[in-house]
Structure 1
């Protein structure tokens, strides 16, 4: 099995754990605080990754260039923007429909990768993206009272627009991070990914600190009070991001994001095994389609 596949699966698993931990944080702080911890508390760990590669493995630090800073800034801002659209979408009644639209990220990453980087994906990869996307949509609307029919009716709704916008900016972020890492041109994919992560997460921390200082200054006190679980979020989040960046240095963002849909399987398993939630037929069908899409992706 290829290296990028193993790294992506591990990153998806870690991201699922980070999401579970962040849900606990929502009970003690607001949305901006819960979002901040994944960046702010991730900085020390991102720095540790770079230090280990430099002083432990002996890899030289790559020399960032203007293209690197341009791409990493675009990606970092796009990721925060995507998260903002996602959070705004949750305030709407039919947010599950919007969530389904936000999962168009792999397809949009394929388009942006072609436009910005000339990354071409095979017909098999596009088929895998389409199959997995249908599976994700089924899981997303499985527990919605309105169901799949609402997904079709809401094509021009505000919730659908927010979901698509979120997927668009997540797709831009993925391609931007890949471009930033590739622009470093060595010494290897691990060092390139680590430096990209460190610069991105520092930039995002600064942006979030300024935002909270202007909009919700009381959040910082709540973040400090929950520093233990916040540190766990930072560790798991930074490690997952390191995995994403390594995988996207080795493979196109579209393929990585298509395989990353396996996170939905992990989320589904958590809800069933940990929270003992009921499983319905649409969710089972969705899981089967995601697995089928992943198999197509790995076999083409």
Structure 2
């Protein structure tokens, strides 16, 4: 049975930071473009992650030595996260903030299936019920149009934003699997040490990979990230690395399917930002969808969701 452990506040905190970071990234896209806003989360986050690991080492804490397995899973998680974030940013250019985020949250179902297939970590009947209720909430939010009008689900699936949003969810799920597998492959270290080393290694890989791609294909994005928009870009990086540490540590402590299911609470944060920051009034269907997601989170934490 799942206990209310450290992974719960870590996941909720990471979800809140991700909401703030994504909103800032969306604004940054209008200043330096999609690629620049995307690159900012890695290039400004990687040095902070490296400083964290250096601080642990200077504090006398032994660091585990990564092996080939760690590098393989780290690359898988890092590249999948790059693709997922790119798809999500592109979805924002096609639909609004809440809808794009909603589509990406289908990762909860996809993470559960991938976690079961790749790592043998499944959910019991209670766990699957919680994920199903959360997914129903996502569907309600997805089909909610302006002023509460209902959008046919068949039409929603055909929109480009849907494809990018669902692809984002798939690659976020793959990223979670890779990150957890990389952290668990380390030969020693506490959960904090494993999460910190994994975060530093993966963000360094992501910075190098995406930096090389932009150097060849989009130097204007590089110039923007280091130029006039470096202040907001650095803010994106700070929120990203702090939130990522929470995700990495949570996924080191708990199976990916559970962490990603609880992460659906990000939709509630998104609605709150819509009301208090953007001053928009959600419809009744929006509140219904959010309520279903909250219910799924409560069932997940308090119900009998033992690993199957």
- TM-score, normalised on structure 1? 0.91
1:17 maps to 20
Aligned residues: 299
- Residues 104, 167 of structure 2: 8 Å contact kept: yes
1:52 maps to 55
| Residue number among 8, 11, 22 corresponding to 2:11 in the alignment | 8
| Residue number among 267, 274, 277 corresponding to 1:274 in the alignment | 277
1:56-95 equivalent positions in 2, closer than 5 A: 56=59, 58-90=60-92, 92=94
Q: How far, CA to CA, are the matches of 1:4 and 1:26 in structure 2?
A: 31
Q: Does residue 283 of structure 1 match 2:286?
A: yes
User: Is the partner of 1:186 in helix, strand or coil?
Assistant: coil
Q: How far, CA to CA, are the matches of 1:273 and 1:288 in structure 2?
A: 18
Q: How far, CA to CA, are the matches of 1:72 and 1:243 in structure 2?
A: 17
Q: How far, CA to CA, are the matches of 1:129 and 1:74 in structure 2?
A: 25
Q: Does residue 262 of structure 1 match 2:290?
A: no
| Residue number among 26, 29, 33 corresponding to 1:30 in the alignment | 33
Q: 1:205 to 1:103 in 2, by over 3 A?
A: same
Q: 1:91 to 1:266 in 2, by over 3 A?
A: closer
Cα distance, 1:94 vs structure 2: 9.5
1:231 maps to 234
1:171-186 equivalent positions in 2, closer than 5 A: 171-186=173-188
1:241-260 equivalent positions in 2, closer than 5 A: 241-260=244-263
Q: 1:53 to 1:69 in 2, by over 3 A?
A: same
Q: Which stretch of structure 1 is more off in the superposition, 34-43 or 115-124? A: 115-124
| Residue number among 179, 188, 191 corresponding to 2:190 in the alignment | 188
| Residue number among 220, 227, 233 corresponding to 2:222 in the alignment | 220
2:46 maps to 43
Q: 1:231 to 1:101 in 2, by over 3 A?
A: closer
RMSD: 2.3
| Residue number among 96, 108, 111 corresponding to 1:109 in the alignment | 111
1:114-125 equivalent positions in 2, closer than 5 A: 114-125=116-127
2:306 maps to none
Q: How far, CA to CA, are the matches of 2:204 and 2:301 in structure 1?
A: 34
Which blocks of at least 5 consecutive residues in structure 1 are unaligned? none
Cα distance, 1:50 vs structure 2: 1.1
Q: How far, CA to CA, are the matches of 2:269 and 2:95 in structure 1?
A: 25
Residue-by-residue CA offset, 1:168-222 (whole Å, 9 max, x unaligned)? 1111111110000000143111111111111111111112112212222112222
Q: 1:197 to 1:205 in 2, by over 3 A?
A: same
Residue-by-residue CA offset, 1:129-171 (whole Å, 9 max, x unaligned)? 1111222332344245896543234546655443332221111
Which blocks of at least 5 consecutive residues in structure 2 are unaligned? 304-308
1:145-224 equivalent positions in 2, closer than 5 A: 148-155=150-157, 159-224=161-226
Residue-by-residue CA offset, 1:8-30 (whole Å, 9 max, x unaligned)? 01111111121222233123201
- Residues 144, 286 of structure 2: 8 Å contact kept: yes
- Residues 45, 235 of structure 1: 8 Å contact kept: yes
